[in-house]
Amino acid sequence: MKNSTVSGDKHTVGSFSCEKCKAGTLPDEKFKTGSFPGFNKKAGSASGDKRKSGRILNLTMAALSFAFLAPIFIVMMNSFKGKLYISDAPFALPNKETFSGLQNYTNGVSKTGFVQSFGWSLFITVFSVLVIVILTAMTAWYITRVKNCICTSLYFSFVFSMIVPFQMVMFTMSKVANILHLDNPMGIIVIYLGFGSGLSVFTFSGFIKTLPLDIEEAAMIDGCKPVRAFFSVILPMLQPVAISIAILNAMWIWNDYLLPYLVIGTKYKTIPIAVQYLKGGYGSIDMGAMMAMLVLAIIPIILFYLSCQNYIIKGVVAGAVKG
């Protein structure tokens, strides 16, 4: 039994010592069954309940994992089947009759101009994320360290922008973007900065409040100007939360369909817009090519997420400590 010892004529459980054992009046059977005073009968049942609840939690998490991964597996499976067989048996594995090899991939790439769309998506995503991370980090540092009513108002303005739905401003935004000549790949980066700044500034501000002010003061004493102090001292300390923000914004921008469609239209097609163009007239869809393009579209962002996933929870928790 756990935490029990037997020495001569004395039994000890934890700090409990049975005097009857000294006299030899308590058999070993009673000790084993715990039928003497002071024995905790609930300890075994409590550990059993914990193991049972742990199994239930594991089974629940396994079921949720399967539910989230099943659609991805179905898309990948159907991308290797002929387009005539996908609608008839979408959950069946490919066989000799339905297997089409890489034909769906070649057809999809040729029909959608996937390589060019991939280039535009990569350009917009990389530079949008870079601009969001750098500028919002500088903004959060300034409004956190400078204590006045203007900075406080700016902070709450960024927080308020997080709760404004995109559908409320999308038509006005598209009109203003057209007037200001932002309806191009460079201009949409500015628009993404506006929509992504709310959460980014809020998260950066919470993390910066945890940083000791003495480090910045020491840098200023050594002769660092504010800009140099930010890039040499502050930004390296913001790495965990910066990577977390970069991952979240990259996943959003890479998969975004509505904003590029409203702003830059079909002249500069991103991957979601290119995939949508596989839908023909009268509702006809080349399901095989669409499944193949969906697989090619999700592979880069999944690889990026898996390579940086260790920083997500660390960065979000660090940014939520204060604020």
Q: What is the pLDDT of residue 136?
A: 94
User: Do 143 and 154 touch, CB atoms closer than 8 A?
Assistant: yes
Q: What is the pLDDT of residue 281?
A: 59
pTM for the predicted model, two decimal places: 0.75
Query: For strand 4-7 and strand 10-13, is the pairing parallel, antiparallel, or unpaired?
Result: antiparallel
Residue 87 backbone dihedrals phi, psi, to 5 degrees: -70, -30
For 53, counting Cβ atoms within 10 Å of its Cβ (0-12 exposed, 13-18 middle, 19+ buried), the class is: exposed
User: Do 213 and 146 touch, CB atoms closer than 8 A?
Assistant: no
Q: What is the pLDDT of residue 192?
A: 94
Domain 111-319 grouped into CATH 1.10.3720.10: yes
Q: What is the pLDDT along the chain (323 residues), one digit of tens a residue?
A: 445 454 544 455 444 455 545 455 545 554 445 454 554 555 556 666 777 788 888 899 999 988 888 888 988 888 888 878 887 888 888 888 888 888 888 888 888 888 899 999 999 999 999 999 999 999 999 999 888 899 899 999 998 988 888 888 888 888 898 899 988 999 999 999 999 999 999 999 988 888 888 888 888 888 888 888 888 888 888 888 898 899 889 989 999 999 999 998 888 889 998 888 877 656 677 788 888 898 998 888 888 888 877 776 665 555 444 44
Nearest to residue 132, comparing CAs of 191, 182, 187, 197? Answer: 197
Instruction: State how far the alpha carbon of 161 is from the alpha carbons of 130, 146, 190, in Å.
Output: 20, 21, 16
Residue 279 backbone dihedrals phi, psi, to 5 degrees: -80, 120
User: Do 239 and 304 touch, CB atoms closer than 8 A?
Assistant: no
Token code pair at residue 144:
């956190």
Write down the domain spans for the chain. 1-40, 111-319
Amino acid at 114: F
